Chain A
């Protein structure tokens, strides 16, 4: 029972168009789960199914071991990509209304809102109308409203859009704090650097099918190519490079360095050993740089989508 959310062979068609095809995804408790995929892959449909906005044609979704039902609405917080608030309503009134829709009673909602507003230093916005606030300010309110009822599962779809770097960091820290407090987070984004930074699990959906999922670290391990980035100080760079190209698969590399040196990536075969490579290179000159090239989430994303 370590998975909070288990989707089993979920399919959804809209008329002739298949939005999701037999997608199975398990989201471990307490994880930050990256739901990735190109535009139109079916991510939003999947998220809407979890939120019971759309019903799947086939397949099942379990939340905390129970089939998804109406009562689970209060256990889920959802920040949609297409989001907004009532423009002509006051911030406080609006936040209270949305909290009550999630099942909080008014007094409790008010108390928690005060707490959050103080944390994010937006307390004096209570009586302002949304149309008087900037986009980033409205996004902050939206974030508070999403997490206010302290749900087990939080779903963020592009949470950082509309935030400046300072506020994006603030929100990122809040999301991680929520995870530390026991919430499970599904995180859908196109910004790979935030995936690197935050996600411990990912799933990749492409053209309605899940094509990859697992722990980010495991996926990186599986996708590593035994490639090393090296820097070598040697008097006759060209001869050494020639020799290297004869022995290994070599590609050019760039990194910051204080030395004037030969820089390149060397891809060892599946059985190649890093130690052997170091020994070999030491014989050719002074080794100044030796790093394993770990595939970035971005590379994995592009590669997997291309190959599928």
Chain B
């Protein structure tokens, strides 16, 4: 008798109707959105408090050259000594004092510019000031040497290498970033999914053991059916939760930003400034177009199909291992010793993905790890956007699914014996023996 649909239905409904599951499903995206808005709000607050910077310029060269902006006001001091300026600035609780001493040469000046402030100043601000003084000083030096700074700027040659594969596909540096982002998100998603819902499966196996219902159930159904029903039912619940999260996140983000009139993208002001700078120059605009082109030129079909295959294969493989652990122990605290060998390859996969694939997506290490089944789902998903030959992808998928069948077989063996063992903490040696029962 095939009871698989019935078991899947129960496992699914039991998870979905669980109160803490419902709370998690609806509250998590709220918390995430709330966090995003808090960060956005705080950084806006940060920007709104404008800084006043006193400038004591003994050279007189830069008097008119610092332009005040909304956030940063420059106040030029004249006819005061450095010491009294320092006292005044501190008393007025201004952000800082920029001191440019009068010296003989530009080189000496460059070493002796000093910024006094109560706390360590923002590095962004300092580098802005350095750039400003530096370029002004350079210009004046060029003028002294009888050269026209404008002209030199015009004459400068900028090289932009066009990247093209042998097949004629154009790529760019921006392209690499896009590819990395796609692969990274896919790999990370899988990683999170395995950990969250793998644990859920394990707990549900343990629950059946501790509530002692297991023997009642398996006198009606084959353990393998129960095992598969559990894996599929929990996975469906997981997919439901994920889908709700994605929808809710989208809704909350758009509603929230409309209501509060805060653009979460402005959370990091530095980033915004970079974007603004980019938009100013025509080159940057072409980069934006390039970005869109890059996304369009990704092998999207390939990506989606492989994402589904690797996601399923990888998740199911790990899920069966989690179920086996659940069967081998009596309570959750005993799971630690068996968790490590599962978590290790997962974490390794993410590290390989982050460090090696960025460096060289087709290097030996990346290649090897994208075939080892315990790491291949994450690593291969990260590699695919960079273009992996189809035969490699297929081979890796085949290895993965073959391993999945193997792990289910092993898990079913351990499960069959383990679920009827009470009060004993199994060792690896015993688990190995169970395979032969």
Contact = CB atoms under 8 A, between A and B. Distances in A.
Contact of A78 (B10, B216, B422): B216
B429 to A, nearest CB: 11
Interface stretch (B183-191, B217-225, B238-246): B217-225
A80 B437 contact: no
Given A53-B420, A70-B1, A73-B219, A86 B212 contact: no
A102 B217 CA distance: 9
Contacts of B7: 101
Contacts of A100: 3, 6
12 contacts: A53-B218, A71-B1, A80-B212, A80-B216, A80-B219, A82-B422, A84-B212, A86-B207, A87-B207, A101-B6, A101-B217, A103-B1
A8 to B, nearest CB: 22
Interface in A1-26: 14-15
A89 interface: yes
A85 B208 CA distance: 8
A82 B218 CA distance: 13
Given A15-B436, A73-B1, A102-B220, A83 B14 contact: no
Nearest to B215: A80
Contacts of A88: 14, 18
Most chain B CB neighbours (cut-off 10 Å) among A74, A78, A101, A142: A101
Contacts of A51: 219
A154 B1 CA distance: 20
A76 interface: yes
Contacts of A175: none
A51 B221 CA distance: 10
Given A82-B422, A83-B215, A98-B220, 5 more contacts: A73-B1, A76-B219, A84-B216, A85-B211, A101-B221
B158 interface: no
Interface string A57-85: 00000000000001101101010101111
Interface in A23-55: 48, 51-53
Nearest to B208: A86
A88 B212 CA distance: 13
A97 interface: yes
A262 interface: no
Contacts of B222: 70
Interface residues of A, number: 29
A195 interface: no
Nearest to A155: B219
Contacts, number: 67
Given A53-B420, A73-B220, A76-B219, A97 B6 contact: yes
Nearest to A51: B219
Given A15-B437, A70-B1, A84 B6 contact: no
A145 interface: yes
B395 interface: no
A279 B294 CA distance: 116
B1 A84 contact: no
Contacts of A14: 437
Q: Which 7 A-B pairs have the closest CB atoms?
A: A84-B212, A101-B220, A80-B215, A84-B211, A78-B219, A51-B219, A84-B213
Nearest to A70: B1
Interface residues of B, number: 25
Nearest to A102: B220
A73 B216 CA distance: 12
A76 B220 CA distance: 9
A101 B213 CA distance: 13
A88 B208 CA distance: 11
Chain B interface main SS type: loop
Interface of B: 1, 3, 6-7, 10, 14, 18, 207-208, 211-213, 215-222, 420, 422, 433, 436-437
A86 B211 contact: yes
A83 B220 contact: no
A89 B1 contact: no
A78 B436 CA distance: 27
Interface in A212-241: none
B419 to A, nearest CB: 10
A123 B221 CA distance: 28
A297 to B, nearest CB: 27
Contacts of A86: 14, 207-208, 211, 213
B215 A82 contact: yes
A50 B144 CA distance: 104
A141 to B, nearest CB: 11
Contacts of A53: 215, 218-219, 420
A90 to B, nearest CB: 10
Nearest to A52: B219
Contacts of B420: 48, 53
Contacts of B436: 15
Interface string A130-161: 00000000000010010000000000000000
Most chain A CB neighbours (cut-off 10 Å) among B1, B215, B422, B437: B215
B8 to A, nearest CB: 12
Contacts of A142: 216
A89 B6 CA distance: 15
Nearest to A106: B6
Nearest to B223: A53
Contacts of B208: 86
Contacts of A102: 220
Nearest to B3: A101
B32 to A, nearest CB: 28
A283 B6 CA distance: 78
B418 to A, nearest CB: 13
Contacts of B218: 53
Contacts of B433: 15
B88 to A, nearest CB: 70
A145 B216 CA distance: 10
Contact of A82 (B1, B207, B212): B212
A85 B219 contact: no
B329 to A, nearest CB: 16
Contacts of A89: 14
Most chain B CB neighbours (cut-off 10 Å) among A48, A84, A98: A84
Nearest to A77: B219
A14 B213 CA distance: 23
